[in-house]
Amino acid sequence: MGKATRALHVVYIICNLLVHVAFGNSSHKRLYDELFVKRGYNRLIRPVYDESTTTLVEMQFFLSQVLDMDETKETLTTNAWLTLRWKDEYLEWNPAEFNGTQNIKLTSNIVWLPDLYLYDNAASKYDELWGDQIVSIKYDGTVMWAAPAIIKTHCKLDVTHFPFDEQTCIVLFGPWQHSAEEILVVGRTTASYFQGNAEWSLINISASDNTEKFAIYSDDDEVPYCTVAFTMVLRRQPLYYIFNLILPCGFISVTTLLSFFLPPDSGEKVGLGITVLLSLTVFLLLVAEILPPASSVPVIGQYYAATMVLVSLSLAMTVTVLSLHHRGPESSEVPRWVRKVILGHLARVLLLRKLTSPNTDTGKPVTTSNSISRHCSCQESAATQPLLDLKISSPMADSLESNTNVNTAKRNKRHKSGNNITVNINDEHLKLLKRIHQEMKHVSGHFKDTTKEANKRCEWKQVAMVVDRLFMFVYIMGSVSTCLIIICQVFVS
């Protein structure tokens, strides 16, 4: 009995399913014939019995994804879920007459559709969004069209605060031929269906309806037309651009600061500055390729331009320092006011240590108290100090020479014979001493001139060192000021 009962139960279920399918298909077929064949439904006619009746179309726009934001072309590509609802008075029936059928799903190509178009369409052509889809028709004539769509529209971008910017894009729909007296569109939206994006986050989305009068030609009467606008507020995620554009520029500007620590004799100060300037130019070109040719300069462009100006100024400062450092013997001495202002007061303000210089008279080191040095403190000047400083005056040499001549004459009178060889030897000695004295005076003068020129060159080098330190502080203050101004523009405005 148990097996027979179960078999009968299975047969009963199968028979019910077959009857339901048969009657169901029959009901849908009879309903379709009733609506589209017997009643003579025409999809080209607006579905109202009274022409003065306005067809209310409810449009729902759900943003799912931001597929692409092309800054150069100012276009936005999104994945959206669209839903349309309206009342079709020609598609009403009594469910009791069709086995309780309350809705039917048919292709959208056989029913009337509102002529809604996407304004500011950025695609290659105006695609038919509403055709070849499925519509659900309810017994009271409510028609619901629902399908996903890829929408590409123009979006006017404001890249002033790029990459810390927020963009407001509007997706505008509206009928093209039907006026607001015939079709009235209202919008509905919510942000709960947004799935997120790696670059953009959705801050807000809202829908607004608008009706305004418009005349196609100047001599036509103004006709009211309705539109529905879906406004999306998107915020850019700046982490990618911070690591790829902003941080490299910051590191490059710090590298420029290192050029002030290079000694002028290395010959690499100007080369390093030019390399940094070329690197910034490359990054600026990358930013220019990303952004549209707008009238306003973005924040990151201002930052790059300001950094390039600072690097160019650092090159000019470097050339000035090298010009002071490599002053030749033809240059004049350091002016007194330069010693007082630069080597004195400015050196103390810039926290430069005091240097010592050897005293050329005593050989003892002298430490300057009010300036870096009034003389050369380099090893070059110390090495060029004369080892022997002859200060033999000419009268002393002449008296020595005259006394020697008198003694020689007396000895010649006493020994007129046999002493000619001694007299000749003494005369040769005197001539040799005079020649040696003249040579020593020449050598001593040469050493003095060399020491003077070396002291002058080293003093100019000290001036160049102080000026280089001053330019370094100027560059640091300029870089810090630029960063503060950029930060204030981004986060305060």
What is the Cα–Cα distance from 321 to 308, expressed in whole angstroms?
A: 20
Q: What percent of the chain has pLDDT over 70?
A: 78
Cα separation of 284 and 281, whole Å?
5
Rounded CA separation 236/160 (Å): 13
Average pLDDT over residues 51-70: 93
Highest-pLDDT range among 177-191, 315-329, 349-363, 453-467: 177-191
d(CA 482, CA 308): 11
Residue 267 has pLDDT above 50, yes or no: yes
Going along the chain from its start, the domains and CATH numbers come out as 43-237 (2.70.170.10), 240-326 (1.20.58.390), 336-479 (no CATH)
Cβ contacts of 338 within 8 Å, gap of 6 or more: 463
pLDDT at 265: 75
Tell me the pLDDT tens digit for each residue of 120-160. Answer: 899 887 777 888 889 999 999 999 999 999 999 999 888 88
Whether the predicted model's global pTM rises above the 0.85 cut: no
Residue 207 has pLDDT above 60, yes or no: yes
pLDDT band, very low/low/confident/very high, at 92 (cuts 50, 70, 90): very high
More confident residue, 38 or 18: 38
**pLDDT confidence of 47, banded at 50, 70, 90?**
very high
The CA–CA distances, whole Å, from 274 to 256, 265, 306 equal: 10, 17, 16
The listed range with the strongest mean pLDDT (159-163, 333-337, 372-376, 421-425) is 159-163
- Token pair, residue 282, equals 């490359």
Cα angle at 27 between 21 and 33, to 5 degrees?
A: 135
User: How far is the C-alpha of 425 from the C-alpha of 95, rounded, in Å?
Assistant: 155
Q: Which of 52-61, 306-315, 318-327, 409-418 has the lowest average pLDDT?
A: 409-418
Per-residue pLDDT tens for 444-472?
Answer: 776 776 777 777 777 777 787 888 888 88
Mean pLDDT of the chain: 77
Q: Give 3-state DSSP helix, strand, coil % of the chain, rounded to 5.
A: 45, 25, 30
Whether the predicted pLDDT of 71 surpasses 80:
yes
Q: Which of 458, 449, 448, 465 is nearest to 357 (CA)?
A: 458
User: How far is residue 249's CA from residue 162's CA, in Å, rounded to a whole number?
Assistant: 15
